[in-house]
């Protein structure tokens, strides 16, 4: 009797279970309640752990009902032969066809772009909270979704349908998306016509609808056209959107497309500094290379490639097309051929011989790529082992950069988590981070960053910075060492000098009403950029110096406060400044006096691109009791109006005519929520992380607030909060 009659849970043994063909299938059957055992000769411990729903063992389990082999398993593999003695053995494709024949099945097929299209479809279903069973063809970046899902009864099942081994012929789905029919797999389909015939036959077997830009003969039951697009990626998105609409009746939005988390090995950016980008891509056919070049801007940009040819039969059949595509890159490092169990009568040497810009792979030296004068991209391309190599290469590059800095006496850290650095409690990591000990040290690290092409970002207390969950490939600077948190009153002669040079500033100080006029004479204090404002205020209170109550309750550092001109209402800390010492990105020191400091509401133009080192602030003589009382009043007011918890304070700047909080409240948005991101019911300009909010949740809530407030009031609110490595213009 056929064990696959759906009546009882089965015991499966999967051979080659770690590959991208098998892992989604394993997840699918595991979700359906079957027991899944498996083995893979080439799997890492880390991947085994990620696929922990498979019981890994290199023996056939007792009571095994079925063995399933990936097409990469040799027919003489000892485990395959052992399985044949105790149970039926299937090729993966054949078994999937059998298992899914009674399901509402939508397949995505074609020569290029299947995995990306399937991934977009999965993402669109998730965004719409609609159930979907699926077997994807690639892993999502940052593990956004599982590789497979078989949890839902009566839902659509979406499957990436592989045509390479002929098992496609066993499928008669309800819906087929046929992306393109560029001849490939010449070993199995010896002519272009035989390849195209195979897709035409699938179209005929399709029971409800074919979605394709090709026209098939004989005509399928029903055909929908994929709207034309400029690039392969756009074409994949169009195909996924058309399929989503057909399967659900719903339309995909721009937000659905923008929020796509990306798939591994598909234009996947493994490293992105200011001048150097490393990309991994699965392209292994000349048309895919050309599509990738379009994405990378080959011809316009400096792009070099590390190419691993995949299968001798493909290389031999399309050698001229490969050469034509690869010749367009600056340099090509040719990796040894990935044989994929074929006899290799054509290999990388044939390609190298024909490529004027070709070099053997062994010449790819990581130290040659540490510092770049001009922007350049290095793409690791192929369907074999090249991706794993690319990831190792990036780690080697990171070590080479660390050595570059350590040879200059700078102990730079790598992969530093930023989640707890932002007071929002959201954040990925910084590729590099450094805590300079003093000014000279900071200068050295800035110069090094210029040479390597690393962007620099100074983080204070993180009380006004939203941090994406991805890795940021720059250098984060923390001014935490004791040098940066000093606080000292100016000596008499320094005060005299200041007062001599700055009579008008004193007059302005008198007339602006900063602090309480009952306070006495000015007191000047030099404060390091890394000093926390609450600590500074405590110190001033102890010394009986007033005039800083506008900073009460602001959790940031002095540096962050100056850059943001933090304060209360329209007053900000820049009003209390006498002088600021700052450094530009080249490491040059600058001093700016109060007279020349340009600042406005929650911003300081002069310091926009600078790094604040210290500032002289001016307070006034008072008594500790008086200062304490003033601070208490502000604190009490805050406690009544502001919520406690993870936030970045007021999220939006006040528009000229009203308060942002009032606009949001009057637009009915108090309590609005996306995931764990919430508009505080207490103060509508506070966007809270209630536990596990994600960067994308916050962005979605910000979009919702902006569009609703605009609809109701005609005002576009501008975020006050900054985003590490990105601008709001790009995000919104
Ligand atoms: C509960 C709460 C209440 C708040 N209340 C107020 C308030 O009443 N008024 C107000 O104005 N703000 C308020 N904020 C926002 C925030 O505290 C201020 O903007 C603060 O000054 C930011 O300082 P930071 O050290 O945390 O800077 P970060 O958040 O770390 O950085 C903010 C910006 O400053 C830059 N930066 C930091 N240090 C330096 C440096 N040394 N040199 C150059 N650039 C630097 C960063 O690169 C970033 O662009 C509040 C925040 C919270 C969480």
Total structural domains within the chain: 6
| Amino acid 309: pLDDT | 95
Catalytic residue list contains 209 = no
Q: Which of 49-63, 334-348, 516-530 tops mean pLDDT?
A: 49-63
| Amino acid 640: pLDDT | 87
Structural domain ending residue among the three candidates 574, 609, 641: 641
In a domain, 647, yes or no: no
Span 345-355, pLDDT tens digits: 888 999 999 99
In a domain, 517, yes or no: yes
Span 548-593, pLDDT tens digits: 999 999 999 999 999 999 999 889 999 999 999 999 999 999 999 9
| Amino acid 519: pLDDT | 64
The residue among 181, 171, 186 whose CA lies nearest residue 217 is: 181
Span 659-716, pLDDT tens digits: 999 999 999 999 999 999 999 999 999 999 999 999 989 999 999 999 999 999 999 9
| Amino acid 372: pLDDT | 83
Residue nearest to atom 27 of ligand 1 (CA): 560
Count other C-beta atoms under 10 Å from residue 467's C-beta.
27
Tell me the average pLDDT across 181-201: 94
In a domain, 655, yes or no: no
Which of 311, 602, 618, 631 is an active site residue? 602
In a domain, 654, yes or no: no
Question: Which atom of ligand 1 lies at the shortest distance from residue 457's CA?
Answer: 47
Question: Which atom of ligand 1 lies at the shortest distance from residue 638's CA?
Answer: 8
Query: How far is the centre of ligand 1, averaged over its atoms, from the C-alpha of 425 (Å)?
Result: 15
| Amino acid 730: pLDDT | 87
Whether 86 and 2 share a structural domain = yes
Structure tokens at 593: 């006096």
The residue among 290, 164, 278, 309 whose CA lies nearest residue 231 is: 290
Structure tokens at 538: 């405590």
In a domain, 177, yes or no: yes
Whether 114 and 206 share a structural domain = yes
Count other C-beta atoms under 10 Å from residue 258's C-beta.
10
Span 212-236, pLDDT tens digits: 999 998 888 899 999 889 899 999 9
Residue 522 confidence (pLDDT) above 70: yes
Catalytic residue list contains 346 = no
Whether 493 and 610 share a structural domain = yes
Which of 11, 87, 650, 663 is an active site residue? 650
Query: How far is the centre of ligand 1, averaged over its atoms, from the C-alpha of 566 (Å)?
Result: 7
Residue nearest to atom 51 of ligand 1 (CA): 649
Whether 608 and 500 share a structural domain = yes
Catalytic residue list contains 359 = no
Residue 507 confidence (pLDDT) above 50: no
In a domain, 545, yes or no: yes
Whether 83 and 175 share a structural domain = no
Question: Which atom of ligand 1 lies at the shortest distance from residue 458's CA?
Answer: 47
Residue 506 confidence (pLDDT) above 80: no
Whether 444 and 422 share a structural domain = yes
In a domain, 253, yes or no: yes
| Peptide bond just before 684 cis, omega within 30 deg | no
Q: 508 pLDDT band (50/70/90 cuts)?
A: very low
Whether 353 and 428 share a structural domain = no
Report CA Rg, the chain. 31
In a domain, 648, yes or no: no
Q: 8 pLDDT band (50/70/90 cuts)?
A: confident
| Amino acid 220: pLDDT | 83
Residue 513 confidence (pLDDT) above 50: no
Contact 536, 548 (CB under 8 A): yes
Residue nearest to atom 52 of ligand 1 (CA): 649
Contact 618, 578 (CB under 8 A): yes
Contact 23, 48 (CB under 8 A): no
Between 359 and 220, where is the model more confident? 359
Contact 416, 429 (CB under 8 A): yes
Span 242-275, pLDDT tens digits: 999 999 999 999 989 988 999 999 999 999 999 9
Whether 538 and 582 share a structural domain = yes
Residue 685 is part of a domain; what is its CATH number?
A: 3.90.78.10
* Domain that residue 702 falls in: 660-731
In total, the chain counts a number of residues equal to 732
Strand 487-489 to 522-528 pairing? antiparallel
Q: 597 pLDDT band (50/70/90 cuts)?
A: very high
Cα–Cα–Cα angle for 177, 179, 183, nearest 5°? 130
Q: 3 pLDDT band (50/70/90 cuts)?
A: low
Residue nearest to atom 21 of ligand 1 (CA): 561
Tokens 């933090």 map to which residue? 566
Structural domain ending residue among the three candidates 448, 478, 508: 478
Ligand 1: lining residues by beta carbon, under 6 Å: 423, 457-465, 479, 529, 553-557, 559-561, 563-564, 566-568, 611-612, 647-649, 722
Query: How far is the centre of ligand 1, averaged over its atoms, from the C-alpha of 465 (Å)?
Result: 7
| Amino acid 217: pLDDT | 84
Whether 290 and 383 share a structural domain = yes
Instruction: Please state, in angstroms and rounded to a whole number, the distance separating the CA atoms of residues 219 and 216.
Output: 5
Tokens 């479809």 map to which residue? 121
Residue 500 confidence (pLDDT) above 80: no
Q: How confident is the prediction for the chain on average, in pLDDT? A: 93
Contact 315, 337 (CB under 8 A): yes
| Amino acid 514: pLDDT | 47
Cα–chain center distance at 81: 44
Whether 125 and 259 share a structural domain = yes
Per DSSP, the residues of 488-522 read EEPPHHHHHHHHHHTHHHHHHHHHHT-S-TTS-SE
Residue 342 confidence (pLDDT) above 90: no
Lowest-confidence pick of 206-215, 340-349, 470-479, 539-548: 340-349
Torsion of CA 180, 183, 185, 187, to 10 degrees: 150
Candidate from 424, 439, 464 with most ligand 1 atoms within 8 A of CB, to mutate: 464
Candidate from 439, 533, 554 with most ligand 1 atoms within 8 A of CB, to mutate: 554
Residue nearest to atom 28 of ligand 1 (CA): 462
Residue 434 is part of a domain; what is its CATH number?
A: 3.30.43.10
Instruction: Please state, in angstroms and rounded to a whole number, the distance separating the CA atoms of residues 594 and 572.
Output: 13
Tell me the average pLDDT across 27-53: 92
* Sequence-distant (≥ 6) Cβ neighbours of residue 569 within 8 angstroms: none
| Amino acid 314: pLDDT | 93
Whether 371 and 285 share a structural domain = yes
Residue nearest to atom 44 of ligand 1 (CA): 611
Lowest-confidence pick of 148-152, 217-221, 503-507, 694-698: 503-507
Whether 196 and 221 share a structural domain = yes
Task: Look up residue 377 and give its DSSP letter.
Answer: E
* Sequence-distant (≥ 6) Cβ neighbours of residue 434 within 8 angstroms: 405, 410, 411, 412, 413, 445, 475, 476, 477, 478
Contact 540, 491 (CB under 8 A): no
Query: How far is the centre of ligand 1, averaged over its atoms, from the C-alpha of 649 (Å)?
Result: 9
- In the chain, the percentage of residues whose pLDDT exceeds 90 is 83
| Amino acid 511: pLDDT | 40
Tell me the average pLDDT across 485-494: 93
Query: How far is the centre of ligand 1, averaged over its atoms, from the C-alpha of 550 (Å)?
Result: 14
Structural domain ending residue among the three candidates 387, 403, 419: 403
Strand 545-546 to 589-593 pairing? unpaired
């Amino acid at each position: 009797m056929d064990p696959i009659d759906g009546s009882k849970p089965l015991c499966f043994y999967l051979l080659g279970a770690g590959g991208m063909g098998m892992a989604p299938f394993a997840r699918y059957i595991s979700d359906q309640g079957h027991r899944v055992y498996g083995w893979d000769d080439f799997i890492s411990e880390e991947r085994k752990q990620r696929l922990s729903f498979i019981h890994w063992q290199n023996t056939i389990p007792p009571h095994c009902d079925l063995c399933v082999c990936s097409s990469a398993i040799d027919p003489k593999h000892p485990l395959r032969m052992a399985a044949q003695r105790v149970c039926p053995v299937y090729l993966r494709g054949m078994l999937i066809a059998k298992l899914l024949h009674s399901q509402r099945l939508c397949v995505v097929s074609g020569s290029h772009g299947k995995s990306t299209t399937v991934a977009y479809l999965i993402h669109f279903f998730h965004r719409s909270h609609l159930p979907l069973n699926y077997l994807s063809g690639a892993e999502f970046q940052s593990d956004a979704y599982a590789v497979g899902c078989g949890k839902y009864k009566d839902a659509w099942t979406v499957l990436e349908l592989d045509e390479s081994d002929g098992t496609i012929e066993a499928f008669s789905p309800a819906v087929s998306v046929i992306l393109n029919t560029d001849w490939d797999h010449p070993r199995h389909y010896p002519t272009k016509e035989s390849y195209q015939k195979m897709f035409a036959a699938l179209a005929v077997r399709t029971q409800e609808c074919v979605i394709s830009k090709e026209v098939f003969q004989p005509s399928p039951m029903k055909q929908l056209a994929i709207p034309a697009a400029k690039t392969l990626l756009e074409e994949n998105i169009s195909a996924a959107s058309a399929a989503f609409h057909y399967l659900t009746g719903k339309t995909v939005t721009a937000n659905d497309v923008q929020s796509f988390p990306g798939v591994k090995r598909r234009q996947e950016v493994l490293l992105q500094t200011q001048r150097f980008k490393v990309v991994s891509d699965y392209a292994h056919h000349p048309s895919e290379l050309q599509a990738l070049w379009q994405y990378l801007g080959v011809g316009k940009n400096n792009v070099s490639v590390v190419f691993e040819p995949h299968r001798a039969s493909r290389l031999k059949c399309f050698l001229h097309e490969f050469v034509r595509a690869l010749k367009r890159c600056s340099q090509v490092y040719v990796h040894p051929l990935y044989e994929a169990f074929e006899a290799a009568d054509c290999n990388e040497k044939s390609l190298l011989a024909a490529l004027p810009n070709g070099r053997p792979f062994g010449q790819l030296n990581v130290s040659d790529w540490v510092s770049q004068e001009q922007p350049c991209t290095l793409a690791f391309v192929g369907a074999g082992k090249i991706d794993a190599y690319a990831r190792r290469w990036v780690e080697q590059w990171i070590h080479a950069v660390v050595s570059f800095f350590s040879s200059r006496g700078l102990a730079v850290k790598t992969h530093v988590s930023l989640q707890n650095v932002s007071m929002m409690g959201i954040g990925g990591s910084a590729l590099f981070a450094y805590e300079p000990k003093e000014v000279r040290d900071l200068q050295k690290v800035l110069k090094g960053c210029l040479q390597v092409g690393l962007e620099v970002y100074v983080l204070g207390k993180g009380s006004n910075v939203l941090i994406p969950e991805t890795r940021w490939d720059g250098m984060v600077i923390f001014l935490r060492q004791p040098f940066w948190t000093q606080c000292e009153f100016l000596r008499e002669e320094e005060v005299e000098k200041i007062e001599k040079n700055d009579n008008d500033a004193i007059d302005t100080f008198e007339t602006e009403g900063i602090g309480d006029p009952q306070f006495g004479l000015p007191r000047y204090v030099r404060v390091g950029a890394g000093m926390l404002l609450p600590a500074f205020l405590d110190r001033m209170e102890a010394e009986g110096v007033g005039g800083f109550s506008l900073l009460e309750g602001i959790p940031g550092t002095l540096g962050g406060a100056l850059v943001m001109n933090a304060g209360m209402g329209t007053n900000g800390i820049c009003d209390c400044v006498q002088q600021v010492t700052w450094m530009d990105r080249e490491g040059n020191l600058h001093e700016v006096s109060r007279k020349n400091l340009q600042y406005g509401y929650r911003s300081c133009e002069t310091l926009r691109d600078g790094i604040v080192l210290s500032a002289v602030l001016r307070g006034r003589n008072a008594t500790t009791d008086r200062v304490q009382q003033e601070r208490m009043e502000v604190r009490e007011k805050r406690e009544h109006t502001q919520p406690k918890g993870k936030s970045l304070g007021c999220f939006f700047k006040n528009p000229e005519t009203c308060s942002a909080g009032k606009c949001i409240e009057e637009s009915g948005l108090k309590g609005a929520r996306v995931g764990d991101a919430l508009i505080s019911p207490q103060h509508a300009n506070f966007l809270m992380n209630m536990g596990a909010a994600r960067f994308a949740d916050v962005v979605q809530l910000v979009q919702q607030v902006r569009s609703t407030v605009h609809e109701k009031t005609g005002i576009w609110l501008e975020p006050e909060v900054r985003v590490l490595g990105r601008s709001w213009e790009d995000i919104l």
